[in-house]
Structure 1
C-alpha cells in the first residue's frame, strides 16, 4: 500500500482540528439532546453497517451515494437539514468520515495480510498519515500484532472482515438467498402485461409497491420482476456459480456489449445501457421470477455498486474496446433487451369479510371467592 507522507506534527494538528470541527457518528443515540446533523450521521453509520460487503465496500465509500441512501430512507431528516441550512456542513462531515473509514478499512485489510490487490491500477491512494500517523508502517514491520493494539475503529473492521472469512462451508453456501412469495397481495401489479412481455424484458419495482411478502424478505428498495427463463427450474436459478462477473455478449445487431451475469443460468443485464438502474441497488439485486404453474420466486444476487463499480466499469470498457463478435462463444439467449417500470394495476380489491359477527367481547363473569 502506498501513502501520502506528510509532516507528522502538522498531520496530527490537522486531524485534531478536523475532529473538533466535524461530526462523527455515535453508536449510542441520545434522542433528547442529539442535534439534527448528529442524528443524520448516526443513521448513515447504520446504513453503512447494514449494506457493507467487505473491504472493497469500505475502500470505495462515497459520500454522495450515502447521502442518496439517507434521503431515500429518511427524507424528513434531509429535508430538515436543508431547511435549517445545515446540509452542506453535514456533507462535509460525511466526506471526512468516509475518508477516515476508508483508511481504517485499508489498515484493517493490511493487518489481515492484504486481501485487496494494492498493486492494481485502481488502487486508492489513501491519505493514511492524516488519520493514523505511523500506524501503517508499524503494521508492515510487524510491530502491531494484537487486535488490542489497534485503534478501536480499525479493530472493529478487522473483527468484521474475519467473521465473514470464517463462515464454514455448507450446502447452502452454494445457493443464493431466496424465498417463495405468496400469490396474494399482488393486486397493485398488472401481472398479465408482465407475463405477456416475454423473458427478455425486466420490470423495475419500487419499494412503495412491494407486496408485504416481498418487503419481509429484502432490505433493498428496488427489485426486478421478470418471467422465468424457459426450461429453467428453480434450483438452477438459485444456484451459485463462478459467473458473477462482467462478460461479453452480442446483441441482435451483432454488436459487442458488456453484460453483468450473476449465474450461468439467469438472464444477463447490459452494463452501460442500465447504469442508472444498477446504481439503485445497495447489496443485492432482488429478482422476482414469475412462473406459470408455481409461486413467484425471489432470488437475491449479490451486487454492490459501492464496492464493485470501479472494477466493473474498467472491465466493461476493456471488453467493448477489445472484443470482436468472433471472440465470443457465450450463450446470449438470456440477454435482457430492456428494463421498464413495473406496470401497475387498479390496486387492492376489497374482499368480502368472512365473518361479520355477532361478537362477544365482554369479559367472562367469575363468581366471588
Structure 2
C-alpha cells in the first residue's frame, strides 16, 4: 500500500510539473502574439519580456500546479527555530554550495559545448544582458525565491517526506534542477535545492529557505550585474588578447572606480567562500536523516519514486528541454510554434 501511494504521489508531481511547464510555454507564446498585435514594440525591451513572461509563471503556472497537488496527503513538519547563529552560518554555506556546484556544472557545460560545437550554453547570461537592476531584483531576488521555495520545497516535501526523508530531499533537488530546463543551471539548482529541502525539513519554516534563496540569487545575479554594468569585459579581454596593453591600461584608468568596486566585491566573495568551506566541513557530520515509520525500503525507492508514468514524463520532458537548449534549438522551436499559431 505504501509503495502504491508513493508511486501515485510522485507520478502526480511529475505530471503536474510537466503539464505546468508545457502550459506556461504555450501561454507565453499566445500572449506574445496577442501583445505584439496590440503593440509591436512591446517585446523590444528585455525587461518587458521578462516581466510579462514571469507574470504568467507567478499568476497562472505556479498556482495551477499547487491546485493540482494540494489534495495529496501531506505531513505536518514540526516547526523549530534555527537560532540566529546557525541561520547566519547557512548563508555562506548556501552560497558556497552554489558556487562550487556551479563551477562543476560550468566545466561540464564547456566540455559538452566543445563536443557539440555550440560552445557553453548559459541562458541566464543572455537574460541578464540589458535588464535594469530593479527588474532583475524583482524577479530573481523577490518573486523567484518565494514561488520556487513554495513549489519545490514546501509543497513537495510536505507530501513526500512520509516515504523517506532522504528521498524527499534528493527528489526536491532533482526536480528543481531538471525544471530549469538547461544544463548550465541544473547542477547548482540540484545541490541548492537539496540543501534548502534539508533546512526546511529540519525547521518546518519555509521562510528560512526563502531568505537563503534570495541571498544567493542576489549575489549571483543582481549584484554581479550592478558591479559590472560600468565595465565592458569583452573590450578589456580584447585588448589583452590583442596585445594592446596601452589601450588596456588607458581603459583601466578611465574605469578605475568600477574596477575597484569589482575588486572589493571579489575580495568579499573570496572571504565568504572560505567561511563557507569551513562551515561545511564543520557541520557536514551533523547532516542526518531520521527513519520515518513505514518509509520505502532502500531497494524499492527507485522503482516507486522514479519508475512511474508522471516522473518518467517529467524527466524525459526536461531532458528534451536541456538538449534543445544545449544545441541552441529552443529559439527555433519557439519561432516554429509561433508561426503555426499565427498561421
State TM-score, norm by structure 2. Answer: 0.26
The structure whose RCO (Cα within 8 Å, separation 6+) is larger is: 2
Of Structure 1 and Structure 2, the greater helix share is in 2
Q: Greater CA radius of gyration, 1 or 2?
A: 1
State TM-score, norm by structure 1. Answer: 0.24
Of Structure 1 and Structure 2, the greater strand share is in 1
